[in-house]
Each structure stands twice: as C-alpha cells, then as structure tokens.
Amino acid sequence: MADAKNIAKLLLKQYPDPKIALHFSNPLELLVATILSARCTDVKVNEVTKGLFKKYRKAGDYARADIKTFETEIKPTGFYKNKAKMVIECCKKIAADFGGHVPDTLDELTTLPGVGRKTANVVLGSAFGRQAMAVDTHVLRVANRLGIAHSGKPDAVEDELVQQIPEKVLTSFNLALILHGRECCTAAKPGCSRCVLYKECEWPEKPVM
C-alpha cells in the first residue's frame, strides 16, 4: 500500500492552506451551500447563495419559506425541486429539535433531512474546525488512484483514510485532495507529468515518465 503519511506531507506542501471553495460565514450557510452543491459547481452555488444568504439568515427563515419561491431562487443549481424540499425540511428540524442551531456532531447532523456523511463531514471540518474526511468524487478517484484507498464506496474510503492520515491534518488533507483532484488528478487526462505525487502513486494506468 502507498505511504499515506508521506502523500499527506507532499500534498500539504503543494497546497499549504487549502480552503473550501463554497462561500459561507456560519455553519448554517455552509450546510445550505453544501446541499445545493450536489451535481453543481461551487462557482454557481456561490452565485446563488450571495443573494440567498441576505434573505435567509436563520434556520427559521428557511423553515417558513414558500417552497415555490425558494425553488425559483435556487433553480440555477439544478435539481431545484428536490434541493428546495431538502433545505426547508432540514431547517425545520434544526429549528424544532436543535434550537435553531446547526448541530456539531456527526450523529446529530446525519439525522437532518438531506444530510449524509459527506455533507456532515464538510460542515464539521470547515464550519466547526473539527478533523473530518468528506469523501466526494474527487477524493474517491484520487485516493483510489494513489493506492491509499481500495473501494468505490465513500464510507469505506472514509474509513481507510481516517485510519492512515494523522488526525491533526485530516481536514486539511481532505481539502488538499479535492484541490488536487480538480487541478491535477482530473477524471479525464490527469496531469501526471506535473503531479507532485507521481512517484508515490500506484495507479496502474499512469504514464511512464
């Protein structure tokens, strides 16, 4: 198996201060933005939330939203009917069961409608400053190519990475892995020739240099 600790060290040298691309100023905003980001670019989500976050400031604001109006407001993010329902139902539960505050544990976050482990870990890692591993398509692809994960299932990959990566850099490594997947280790035509992890990578399809 590839040396995960060395890979983390090299990757964090390449991306020393990785940040999430979604714009937010509090846990609720990041939660909503993450739900809206499903099958949508972060750039488009940020365009939509710029106005959205001025109108909806608390969980109760979303909970009381007119669903048709809200659908129109988030339509550019795609799959807007389903996303509108999830955001409103999620915020209803936050308002009713958590005093209007986004919960800060994985178990509680995953009780919210529309919130799975990936979304919960995004919020925990970037809004609450916890150490968490959110497995998206980039993490899934890059980790498997590198040889530090061996599954197509996000939960299994999360477990593998959590066991190998030092806890103190887990969130930073998570964000760096996503950046690397977007900028270098892309799904099509990955930039192997300029990859800082080329020597460590165990992907059998990487070109010989």
From the candidates 9, 42, 50, 118, give the one annotated as an active-site residue: 118
pLDDT in tens, 87-115: 999 999 999 999 999 999 999 999 999 99
Summary mean pLDDT of the chain: 98
In whole angstroms, give the CA distance from residue 54 to residue 163. 40
**Where does CATH 1.10.340.30 sit in the chain?**
27-128
pLDDT at 14: 98
**Where does CATH 1.10.1670.10 sit in the chain?**
4-18+133-194
pTM over 0.75: yes
In whole angstroms, give the CA distance from residue 117 to residue 120. 5
In whole angstroms, give the CA distance from residue 155 to residue 175. 17
* pLDDT higher than threshold 90 for residue 85: yes
pLDDT in tens, 150-167: 999 999 999 999 999 999
pLDDT at 1: 72
* pLDDT higher than threshold 90 for residue 202: yes
> Which structure tokens are listed for 2?
């590839």
- 118 an active-site residue? yes
**3-state SS assignment for residue 154:** helix
From the candidates 44, 54, 136, 206, give the one annotated as an active-site residue: 136
pLDDT in tens, 10-43: 999 999 999 999 999 999 999 999 999 999 999 9
The CATH number of the structural domain formed by 4-18+133-194 is: 1.10.1670.10
If you search the block for the tokens 């998206």, which residue do you land on? 136
- The matching CATH number, chosen from 1.20.120.80, 3.40.50.10490, 3.10.20.600, 1.10.340.30, for 27-128 is 1.10.340.30
Q: What is the CA 147 to chain-centroid distance, rounded?
A: 21
The pLDDT of 133-153, averaged and rounded, is 98
